Each structure stands twice: as structure tokens, then as C-alpha cells.
């Protein structure tokens, strides 16, 4: 179904207003790590060479299914996507939320290790999965730079997933929450988090359990809950919890 939908999407280089759409897409891509060191003119050539397509997705629309292969990869242009591991018995564990500029899928092919769906209404750039590992007939130098940038992007994804695995390996919910707060804490001591439902899913916990843990940590003077933001009051105590 995803393949059919992608194939029906209009390419960014055709139709009314194609030039303006192309310029906007290229401008957005040039600011991201995947196209670092590649000029906007070269990015335009890459997109034409790949036969790139733009696609709009409503919230909840699936992009990737865990364990299944897709001939496409998706570069998120607008909106957010939920990256999850799903269980045979039902239910999913949120690994992270992908934002604009992030690459979703398996460049070069292979089964997807995660499931991905649009968390909000999204716009994605659809590219053939094998495009990153084959050199076009022109043997463009900037295509080689794209392949090198891809390694850096994938390394960051692996680093992010390894942090999530370390967090989930913590035995207690208060430990997992302490690790997350310390990781996301800004210079002023606050950590901006997702909604309680999303936070519970990320931590692999039920929402009532998360609420009780937050209340207990607040009573103990470790944190102050301020809406979606949490202020860290006792960093050494949180660090001790993580041990």
C-alpha cells in the first residue's frame, strides 16, 4: 500500500508551481546534515536523478512496518513521526519522535527494525532506498558526498537508539525518568517533555505509574512539575538514582 501511494505522488519537478516547490524543498534540505557540503544546485540535480517525490500524510498514516522491507526511504520535511517497536501480543514502545530533517527507512534495502507512523500531519520526501548506494550514470561527486553524509546520519540514529536501550535497561521507573531528565535538561535546569501519554510510552510505563512516580519525586524535593516542563531541583540526587 505504501509503495502504491508513493508511486501515485507527484514528483516535485512537475506540475504547476514546480519551480517554486523545488526551490523550497532544496532550501530545506540544504540546512540538514544529509546534504551537508552539497550546494543547492547539486541537491536539485540529486533529486531529479533519484526521481524524488513529495507526499502528504495525515496523522496516524503508516510509513514503515517492523520486519518488512520497503523500496522507499522517507525524509521528513514537515511534522513529526513516531518511531516504535511493536510486540506480537499487541502494543508498541516508543523509541523516539522524529522531526523535520530526519531520515526514515533502510537506505540500501532490508527489513525495517522499527515501525513508523505519522504522529501529526506530515510531508515527506520519498526516495528510492537503493539510491544512496548506487552511483548514477553521471558518477557525480556530490552523490558520493551524499553517501558519506548518510553514514554520519545513521551513526547518530544508532547512538540515539543505544541511549534508549540503556534507559530501558534500568530496572525502576524512577531510574528511567531520572536518566531522561538529566539527558534533556537545559542550562536553566528544566526539561521540556512530551505529553504524559507520550512520555509514558517512551519510558515503557503505564500513565498512572508515571504520575505516581512524578508525584513522589516532587514530594522528595528532586523535581518540580511545571506543566509539560519539569525543573530539576536536586541534580546530584537524580545522578545517584541512575547508578
> What integer pLDDT is reported at residue 119 of this predicted model?
92
Q: Whose CA is closest to 202, among 235, 163, 238, 232?
A: 163
**Residues 120 and 76 sit within 8 Å (Cβ to Cβ):** no
* Residue 56 burial (10 A CB sphere; 0-12, 13-18, 19+): middle
Domain covering 171-241, topology: Arc Repressor Mutant, subunit A (1.10.10)
Bridge partners of residue 128, in order along the sequence: 72
Query: Rounded distance, CA 223 to CA 20, Å?
Result: 48
C-alpha distances (whole Å) from 14 to each of 23, 47, 67, 153 are 13, 12, 34, 29
Domain ranges of the chain: 2-167, 171-241
Helices (DSSP H) in 35-172: which residue ranges?
Answer: 40-50, 141-169
Cell digits of residue 33: 546534515
Q: What is the DSSP letter of 11?
A: B
Q: Whose CA is closest to 33, among 63, 73, 75?
A: 75
> What integer pLDDT is reported at residue 61 of this predicted model?
95
Question: Which architecture, in CATH terms, is 2-167?
Answer: Sandwich (2.60)
**Residues 126 and 53 sit within 8 Å (Cβ to Cβ):** yes
Q: Whose CA is closest to 83, among 172, 202, 238, 191?
A: 202
In this prediction the pTM is 0.65
Exposure string (b/e) for 119-140, b if CB count within 10 Å is 16 or more?
beebbbbbbbbebbeeeeeeeb
Q: What is the pLDDT along the chain (243 residues), one digit of tens a residue?
A: 344 344 344 445 455 556 677 788 888 888 888 888 888 888 888 888 788 888 999 999 999 998 898 889 899 999 999 988 877 666 677 788 888 888 898 887 788 888 999 999 999 999 888 877 765 655 567 777 887 788 888 787 888 778 777 877 777 899 889 888 888 888 888 888 878 888 887 888 888 999 999 999 999 999 998 887 899 999 999 888 887
Amino acid at each position: 500500500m505504501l509503495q502504491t501511494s508513493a508511486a501515485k505522488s507527484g514528483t516535485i519537478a512537475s506540475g504547476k508551481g514546480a519551480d517554486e516547490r523545488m526551490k523550497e524543498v532544496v532550501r530545506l534540505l540544504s540546512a540538514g546534515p544529509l546534504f551537508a557540503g552539497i550546494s543547492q544546485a547539486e541537491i536539485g540535480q540529486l533529486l531529479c536523478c533519484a526521481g524524488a517525490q513529495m507526499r502528504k500524510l495525515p496523522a496516524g498514516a503508516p510509513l514503515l512496518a517492523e520486519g518488512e522491507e520497503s523500496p522507499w526511504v522517507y525524509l521528513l520535511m514537515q511534522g513529526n513521526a513516531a518511531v516504535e517497536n511493536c510486540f506480537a501480543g499487541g502494543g508498541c514502545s516508543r523509541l523516539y519522535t522524529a522531526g523535520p530533517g530526519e531520515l526514515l527507512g533502510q537506505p540500501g534495502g532490508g527489513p525495517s527494525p522499527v515501525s513508523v507512523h505519522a504522529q501529526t500531519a506530515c510531508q515527506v520526501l520519498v526516495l528510492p532506498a537503493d539510491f544512496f548506494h548506487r552511483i548514477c550514470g553521471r558518477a557525480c561527486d556530490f552523490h558520493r558526498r551524499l553517501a558519506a553524509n548518510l553514514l554520519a546520519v545513521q551513526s547518530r540514529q544508532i547512538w540515539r537508539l543505544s541511549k534508549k536501550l540503556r534507559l530501558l535497561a534500568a530496572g525502576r521507573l524512577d531510574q528511567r525518568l531520572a536518566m531522561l531528565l538529566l539527558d534533556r535538561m537545559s542550562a536553566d535546569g528544566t526539561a521540556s517533555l512530551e505529553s504524559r501519554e507520550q512520555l509514558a510510552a517512551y519510558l515503557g510505563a503505564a500513565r498512572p505509574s508515571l504520575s505516581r512516580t512524578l508525584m513522589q519525586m516532587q514530594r522528595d524535593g528532586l523535581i518540580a512539575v511545571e506543566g509539560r516542563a519539569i525543573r530539576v531541583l536536586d541534580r546530584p540526587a537524580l545522578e545517584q538514582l541512575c547508578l
